[in-house]
Structure 1
């Protein structure tokens, strides 16, 4: 007999055994979750797909008392206490899932943003809110006492000369023995000050080594700016020090924020970098990092979060929401955090097939309102692509190039699109973008390895 059949039979035996004994408050009217779900399916003529790992050994207290005349209300009553939910996949069809704290109903997100926004109405009242938010964001990240900047020099590989741009791989020590790794794309020739654009990686396979990431950063360099493409924590080359599952630890969002700050410290110290033209643009999880970094660091003068921003989605990865940043200042969300960029230029790229699908309807008008406090409503733009999905494809990249050219006075004509892609750019093999050698053999001997050691170092450095 299969495991599932055995499990269901055992539940039936439990219920049959209880049949001779009426349920009452002494046992809290308890029933196994599977039996309750079966009852709901029969009562309401619906189908509920459920992985047995989500159902096994779970019980519903006051089970029959949670039943209402509406199936959706009933399911919420039954599942919420167990930190479970259902996704509606069609008429009468549901799928059982773990509670997703980061996903809200659209109306709930909009109402929350409207409630928050009712506390300010002009530059003065917004400025007070912004000061409080920034202070509490740092505290929520555990960075109120910012660790000392390591005095070590970054590890820098020799330049690779390409068609109109160069590339160097760079590792920057952000805590003793902890590195953030990336590749710096620079114009091959330039005069005067050079703008800088941070390009954090997103949650896509291939990390910063993938084709679209290389195309984007090389194109920005050909336009006349430096672009620094870097790994998220425990992502890409960072996995030389930490396991990939460490990316889903709450401290990930903190380490990434600290990494962004230290990247700016280093790159803004280089000769020729224009401190008045400092941008950041990432997609997906890199877009959440973009929004947070812009709120935290006033040295950033332009932001472009791509397929990430929403008042009803808080970022499902701990590298976006693992620390209580969204409880700051009595409660906030990513759209209000994005508003902290005002009046600095900001491009919001959204699409029709993820949680940014309703951006033009409510969240973007809110951003225009905040920018309007400064008389700079034109400084925030939304490129919405209703027929596209969750990626950093050519449409998104073209929108970014145009925005950068407009605000950083770059040469947009330097980017030629042929057959739907940027031409004249070399796509390097992944190993070419490594800082520490093909097999990590050049990783410094004092490099921290393992999450427990990272926590030890972080705690020591923030308590000094």
Structure 2
């Protein structure tokens, strides 16, 4: 036999042996089949859809089984970057691995490790000065993009009971806009405090009824509330696609949008630069924490149903850039502590990742504020029976806090028992809050379109 032909035959044989080892000797099984075996063996039910399991295989599948079902599920799913959430007695739901969600004790232990680096005001200030410039680097905002001097686009003011609403668009990068609405007191005889009012990932975002009520009430009490869109939400969808919101550059653009709104509003001589707050819920709460950490012009912060040492934010617009690697590693509670000694209200509830706020994270914040002798400047309103929303039970402490620290007046809006009357707030149709028109007909001609064109601005 020709020696070259013999060599080919040997190679073919060896490849078949290797293939057999891969398929047979590694005891590979389809994930769907493994799930069925687990359900039968442990008498449990695992919910999933076909897309989650299609095409996924597991080597040495049966070797991953243990006596404990929880350990078995972890052994089986971790190599595939998957996990389960328990939804009831012997019922589970298959999910992608959540890099941004830790076990409670794991988050607490890490916060304790971070806290061991400082023990007084001086050492804490050194830590802040280590983190802050690193945040700008991680956000791709160092150096800061040049501020554009194009005029803001403004709609006519709409007059309501005790307040006005005016929509705006600010150009924050060439052809890129952040849109929102100014809620302003109808009559005012003194300088106005400002409350930046970003919102989270709830449906309809800033157009929601509760978002409009919150901003209207702040205006009726004598403050200016500035409600603005997340990136690739709201009118930003005229320029970008909804899926672009779940790209890491969303974190950069949203942060830059908040900074440029501050730049603009602080040029208004009617604004009180000593009373600049930020209040957001869920993802808007993450944004509020980050903005307060990097921008000392903000003098008051209210993160709502967002803050936790074991949750980093479930959207790339919160955790898609290495902001939590800054200073050798950090987390959202340490970032929130950078607000000290400025007043901060943390609102938490019993049915999401803020459920354990009073037990560990809040005492940590009190310790940091104590370095300044300002323990009473940080508050936690914990609502153990509440869930993840921005309902009245959350809005009321917001009004109370702003009343106390920004001297907002609730005269005519608050009863003798301390409850607020929100009935005088007008809920507008979504399209009334647009600045570019119902069909986007007023979008400037030079506005860019598509995420690839946004990326070019950062290259």
Instruction: State if a TM-score over 0.5 links the two structures.
Output: yes
* Aligned match of 2:235: 237
Return the offset for 1:450.
1.0
**C-alpha distance in 1 between matches for 2:121 and 2:420:** 43
* Aligned match of 1:433: 433
In the superposition, relative to structure 1, how do residues 90 and 283 fare at CA in structure 2: closer, same or farther (>3 Å)?
Answer: same
Task: Give the number of equivalent residue pairs.
Answer: 439
**Higher mean displacement: 46-55 or 428-437:** 46-55
Q: Deviations over 1:166-209 (max 9, x none)?
A: 11111111001100001001111112221111001221112211
**C-alpha distance in 2 between matches for 1:50 and 1:213:** 34
Q: Deviations over 1:347-380 (max 9, x none)?
A: 0011111111111111111111111111101000
Unaligned runs of 5+ in 2: 1-18
1:25-44 counterparts in 2 under 5 A?
27-44=25-42
Q: Deviations over 1:295-327 (max 9, x none)?
A: 111100000011111111111111111111112
In structure 2, which of residues 284, 307, 310 is the aligned counterpart of residue 309 of structure 1? 307
Return the offset for 1:66.
2.0
**C-alpha distance in 1 between matches for 2:297 and 2:110:** 29
* Aligned match of 2:122: 124
Contact conserved, 2:396 with 2:420, CA < 8 A, in 1?
no
* Aligned match of 1:457: 457
**C-alpha distance in 2 between matches for 1:328 and 1:369:** 21
**C-alpha distance in 2 between matches for 1:444 and 1:228:** 22
Return the offset for 1:39.
2.7
Contact conserved, 1:416 with 1:422, CA < 8 A, in 2?
no
Return the offset for 1:458.
3.1
Return the offset for 1:392.
0.9
In structure 2, which of residues 134, 147, 151 is the aligned counterpart of residue 149 of structure 1? 147
* Aligned match of 1:182: 180
**C-alpha distance in 2 between matches for 1:364 and 1:420:** 27
**Higher mean displacement: 53-62 or 259-268:** 53-62
**C-alpha distance in 1 between matches for 2:229 and 2:421:** 23
**C-alpha distance in 1 between matches for 2:285 and 2:392:** 16
Return the offset for 1:22.
9.9
Return the offset for 1:414.
4.5
2:458 aligned counterpart, secondary structure: helix
* Aligned match of 2:44: 46
Say whether 1:106 aligns with 2:142: no
1:24-103 counterparts in 2 under 5 A?
27-103=25-101
* Aligned match of 1:424: 424
1:422 aligned counterpart, secondary structure: coil
Following TM superposition, the consecutive aligned residue runs of length 4 or more in structure 1 with deviations greater than 4 angstroms are 21-27, 416-421
Return the offset for 1:93.
2.3
* Aligned match of 2:244: 246
**C-alpha distance in 2 between matches for 1:291 and 1:419:** 28
Contact conserved, 2:414 with 2:420, CA < 8 A, in 1?
no
In the superposition, relative to structure 1, how do residues 308 and 363 fare at CA in structure 2: closer, same or farther (>3 Å)?
Answer: same
In the superposition, relative to structure 1, how do residues 419 and 123 fare at CA in structure 2: closer, same or farther (>3 Å)?
Answer: closer
Note the aligned Cα RMSD (angstroms).
1.9
* Aligned match of 1:162: 160
In structure 1, which of residues 384, 395, 402 is the aligned counterpart of residue 393 of structure 2? 395
Return the offset for 1:419.
10
Q: TM-score, normalised by structure 1?
A: 0.91
**C-alpha distance in 2 between matches for 1:366 and 1:325:** 20
Return the offset for 1:26.
7.9
Contact conserved, 1:222 with 1:414, CA < 8 A, in 2?
no
* Aligned match of 1:198: 196
**C-alpha distance in 1 between matches for 2:23 and 2:332:** 44
1:169 aligned counterpart, secondary structure: strand
Return the offset for 1:416.
4.2
In the superposition, relative to structure 1, how do residues 403 and 420 fare at CA in structure 2: closer, same or farther (>3 Å)?
Answer: closer
Q: Deviations over 1:42-95 (max 9, x none)?
A: 333333223222222211123233222222112111111110111122333222
**C-alpha distance in 2 between matches for 1:347 and 1:220:** 16
**C-alpha distance in 2 between matches for 1:347 and 1:133:** 22
**C-alpha distance in 2 between matches for 1:74 and 1:421:** 53
Unaligned runs of 5+ in 1: 1-20, 460-464
* Aligned match of 1:13: none
In the superposition, relative to structure 1, how do residues 419 and 145 fare at CA in structure 2: closer, same or farther (>3 Å)?
Answer: closer
**C-alpha distance in 1 between matches for 2:91 and 2:125:** 47
Say whether 1:139 aligns with 2:154: no
Contact conserved, 1:175 with 1:458, CA < 8 A, in 2?
no
Contact conserved, 2:413 with 2:421, CA < 8 A, in 1?
no
Return the offset for 1:435.
0.8
In the superposition, relative to structure 1, how do residues 219 and 414 fare at CA in structure 2: closer, same or farther (>3 Å)?
Answer: farther
1:322-337 counterparts in 2 under 5 A?
322-337=320-335
